[in-house]
A = this chain, B = another copy of it.
């Protein structure tokens, strides 16, 4: 716990220059006599030398730290994305500075600034904001950011997107194909573009089927930022609350489309506590295809998105970009896929 050894300490002890020590200890391929190199390594070991990467970073202006900004880590969706990111990052020797924006655009901006000050060169961002001036600023100053999940319109960055609108359409079409006509749509606050897009998909598909959707059938959770529920079960509660709200109007659709699986779980829970059978009385469809969707009862029909792959792709792109293996900036649009299980029944008409 005394002052840590530096390359100078080693140099001094060996009566050589710090430069030489650096050359061998930093694994540069600069030529150093093998014998000397070994002595250096030996005394480094012996003196318990640990390289100070801050010193190195200040000099080289290179870092092996990257930033990740997501709305919430307790959301299994983002946990999967992060896991994908972490995996390829760690393959390349990178570490991750994890930032939670908590759905708060200001926090997102703060994190962006802080990452930039910490001299990070690359960030993966799932943005909850729609004013991207801070983002623009840091990018203009050389920060490389690839976005995941949340599409940012007309933005000159790499984006790994997901076709949420099509997802909404596919889910709706499936319901329609099963004979449903009375469909309610429950969604978390429409702050995220992804959420808007799913809803849009729903509306579009209903419209093109010639089915009007009365406004009571679209229920949007009121946003209550501030204290998030412990453990992030907010969406579950949302689902319950919105279901109450929907049913308390006396309305009784044959199917409920929830904006994500967590919300759908809440829907199913509320339905169960009202002794309403799924899918016999009301069908439920979700979005995300969490792994839990397979094991709830009844197993939830949902829209799959490749969360883990999203993380991997995003991080791979970022790595290539930082390597200057530049591919031109562009978008990747990942496609939705319906996973039919048993929470939706066929209506015999």
Contacts and interface: CB of A to CB of B under 8 A. Distances in A.
B86 A100 contact: yes
B295 A268 contact: yes
A207 interface: no
B100 A52 contact: no
> Closest 3 CB pairs between A and B?
A297-B297, A98-B98, A53-B117
Given A51-B117, A117-B51, A231 B86 contact: no
B1 A117 contact: no
Interface in A58-80: 58, 65, 72-74, 76, 79-80
A236 B97 contact: no
A80 B74 contact: yes
Given A76-B74, A80-B231, A141-B4, A95 B99 contact: yes
Nearest to A51: B117
Nearest to A307: B231
Contacts of A87: 100
9 contacts: A4-B141, A54-B119, A72-B83, A73-B79, A79-B79, A86-B98, A95-B97, A95-B99, A297-B298
A55 interface: yes
Interface in A91-122: 95-100, 113-114, 116-119
Contacts of A114: 95
A9 interface: no
- Please tell me how many copies of the chain the complex holds: 2
A332 interface: no
A222 to B, nearest CB: 21
B140 A1 contact: yes
A236 to B, nearest CB: 7
B296 A118 contact: no
A212 interface: no
Nearest to A56: B117
A292 interface: yes
Interface in A247-304: 265, 268-269, 291-292, 294-298
A335 interface: no
A233 interface: yes
Contacts of A83: 72-74, 100, 231-232
Given A95-B97, A233-B291, A50 B82 contact: no
A134 B11 CA distance: 25
Interface in A288-342: 291-292, 294-298, 307-308
A38 interface: no
B236 A295 contact: yes
A82 B99 CA distance: 11
